[in-house]
Amino acid sequence: MDGYRPVHGVVAVTLRLRSNMRVLVVAMTGSGKTTLARTLSSGFAGPRAAPSQAVLVVDCKREPSLAELVPQEARGAPPPGMGGWWRVCPPDGDAAEPILEAVWRRGHTWLWIDELSMIGDHRRCPRPLELIYRQGRARNIGILALTQDPLRIPVVAKSQADAVLVGPIGAPDYVSECARMLHMPHGELAEALAELPRYGFLWWTWDHARERRRPDVVALGGEGG
Ligand SMILES: Nc1ncnc2c1ncn2[C@@H]1O[C@H](COP(=O)(O)OP(=O)(O)OP(=O)(O)O)[C@@H](O)[C@H]1O
Ligand SMILES: [Mg+2]
């Protein structure tokens, strides 16, 4: 999927997302993660997608904007072969486990997890989530995971990320963790974050040799600059 958004004060970028990518978004509350995720997910279900391709929003916080996007709350994952937009609200990892298990079985799902630390943390990751992260690419399962807290999410979400978006971050510890994940000096990341426009994110991808490329700045119109 190609997405193009005009921006103010920064270069316009084209985001190339494949439906089986693992994308991690880290930024503090109110920084625009959910809004960005909505744009990033828009091509993965509906008229332009295959009929069996689904977007499953795992809405752990019951965000009003997600209920607006997908009004009907489902009890579980979409049945095999059934596409479109779905939303589930598991309160924790235990409740998410059977849903993730069903996603693993059906494949062809863009799994949007908002917020990741509520269904898995650095000590415990639901088994099917670990499986999906490690082996779900071949089943065409993509993951877009959002978090405010890079220290509390499952390690596999960082080690398996094909793309990482980092926005404004609260605690210095969180900046350090992101810098570690991206193999870059803390100061360099802190400086780049300080220059971000409002609702802006730094976007990294890796090339085939797993070399990290220079980040693009992503901002969805609105109040840039
Ligand atoms: N690009 C944008 N331009 C203008 N307004 C935006 C933009 N992105 C987000 N907003 C607004 O900022 C507010 C917070 O955005 P959003 O809910 O996406 O943040 P969030 O990072 O998901 O927050 P939380 O961590 O609390 O879930 C919302 O009112 C949203 O409409
Ligand atoms: Mg949000």
Domain ranges of the chain: 2-219
Q: Which ligand is nearest to the CA of 65?
A: 1
User: Exposed/middle/buried for 169, CB within 10 Å: 0-12, 13-18, 19+?
Assistant: buried
Whose alpha carbon is nearest atom 29 of ligand 1? 30
Asked if 126 and 120 touch (Cβ cutoff 8 Å), the reply is yes
Q: Does pTM top 0.85 for this prediction?
A: yes
Q: What is the pLDDT of residue 220?
A: 82
199: left (phi over 0), alpha (psi -120 to 50) or beta: left
Q: What is the pLDDT of residue 13?
A: 58
Rounded average pLDDT per 10-residue block, the chain, 225 residues = 45 74 97 95 89 96 97 96 96 97 98 98 96 98 98 97 94 96 94 94 84 81 50
- Centre of ligand 2 to C-alpha 8, Å, is 23
Q: Which among 40, 22, 23, 17 has a CA at the least distance from the CA of 137? A: 22
**The domain made up of 2-219 is a member of CATH 3.40.50.300:** yes
Q: What is the pLDDT of residue 216?
A: 85
For ligand 1, pick from 34, 59, 114 the residue to mutate: most ligand atoms within 8 Å of CB.
Answer: 34
Whose alpha carbon is nearest atom 5 of ligand 1? 222
- Centre of ligand 1 to C-alpha 138, Å, is 33
Q: Which residues line ligand 1 (CB under 6 A)?
A: 27, 29-35, 63, 65, 148, 199, 220, 222-223
Q: What is the pLDDT of residue 189?
A: 95
**Which atom of ligand 1 has the smallest separation from the CA of 61?**
27
- Centre of ligand 1 to C-alpha 114, Å, is 13
Q: Which among 186, 194, 197 has a CA at the least distance from the CA of 220? A: 197
Residues, the chain: 225
Q: Quick one: DSSP state of residue 206?
A: B
